[in-house]
């Protein structure tokens, strides 16, 4: 799913590979980039940014989190977008550059089976081994998130762009005068104040919120 994290700082990022999932894009704003090609027009709403203080935190986790282990990482302060890159923002990039995503080039992408129509589910028989709820759907890309019979109607301004590869995300960030966050910057921001918790809400030990609702898709 494009979530966008942006960081603003003068020094170069630490030598960790930037991370962008196949569904969300986040980028970091470079301090000395000047006016970017993708800068919003005057009066256009810009995503709010949050300053993340520098600190040392334990990155990774135990087997419950799916991480292979943990290690201490020290980061300087940076600023990060508080919301993902929306479909509307990604459309501005595509219109300006005529960019084609990798999902478009490949002609398919993975989609969660519960979001598919009955027709698309019947004609899509390729799944991920060990995770059959991820279905390979022909024609799925950012403008048709659930395949040929889907659209972005009602999902332009407040929904994140999806089916975005690492290369797609990198191209977007370069156009906008930004960069992708490192894996450490992403995880640090996602943890919030609970720098060593399994989850960023409550006391960090429960997967459900205080009102008994699921807080994430696990």
119 three-state secondary structure: helix
Nearest to residue 99, comparing CAs of 31, 37, 48, 180?
37
64 three-state secondary structure: helix
- Give pLDDT, residue 206: 79
- Measured distance CA(2)–CA(99) in Å, rounded: 15
- Give pLDDT, residue 6: 41
- Measured distance CA(132)–CA(30) in Å, rounded: 40
- Give pLDDT, residue 40: 62
- Give pLDDT, residue 18: 35
- Give pLDDT, residue 11: 35
Beta carbons of 113 and 133 less than 8 angstroms apart = yes
Q: What are phi and psi of 198, to 5 degrees?
A: -75, -35
Alpha-helical regions (H) of the chain = 87-97, 102-106, 118-123, 166-175, 183-191
Residues of the chain where predicted confidence (pLDDT) is lower than 70: 1-47, 64-65, 217-218
- Give pLDDT, residue 19: 34
For residue range 99-117, list pLDDT tens digits in order.
999 999 999 999 999 999 9
- Give pLDDT, residue 65: 63
């Amino acid at each position: 799913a494009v979530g966008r994290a942006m960081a603003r700082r003068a020094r170069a990022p630490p030598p960790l590979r930037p991370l962008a999932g196949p569904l969300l894009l986040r980028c970091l704003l470079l301090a000395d980039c000047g006016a970017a090609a993708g800068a919003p027009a005057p009066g256009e709403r810009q995503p709010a940014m949050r300053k993340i203080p520098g600190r040392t935190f334990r990155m990774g986790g135990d087997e419950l989190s799916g991480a292979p282990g943990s290690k201490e990482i020290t980061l300087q302060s940076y600023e990060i977008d508080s919301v993902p890159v929306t479909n509307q923002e990604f459309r501005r990039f595509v219109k300006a550059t005529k960019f084609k995503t990798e999902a478009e080039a490949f002609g398919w992408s993975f989609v969660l089976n519960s979001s598919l129509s009955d027709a698309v589910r019947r004609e899509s028989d390729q799944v991920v081994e060990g995770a059959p709820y991820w279905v390979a759907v022909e024609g799925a890309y950012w403008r048709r998130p659930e395949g040929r019979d889907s659209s972005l109607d009602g999902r332009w301004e407040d929904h994140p762009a999806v089916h975005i590869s690492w290369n797609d995300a990198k191209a977007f960030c370069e156009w906008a005068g930004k960069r992708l966050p490192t894996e450490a910057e992403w995880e640090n921001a996602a943890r919030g104040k609970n720098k060593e918790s399994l989850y960023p809400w409550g006391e960090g030990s429960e997967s459900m919120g205080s009102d008994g609702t699921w807080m994430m898709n696990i």
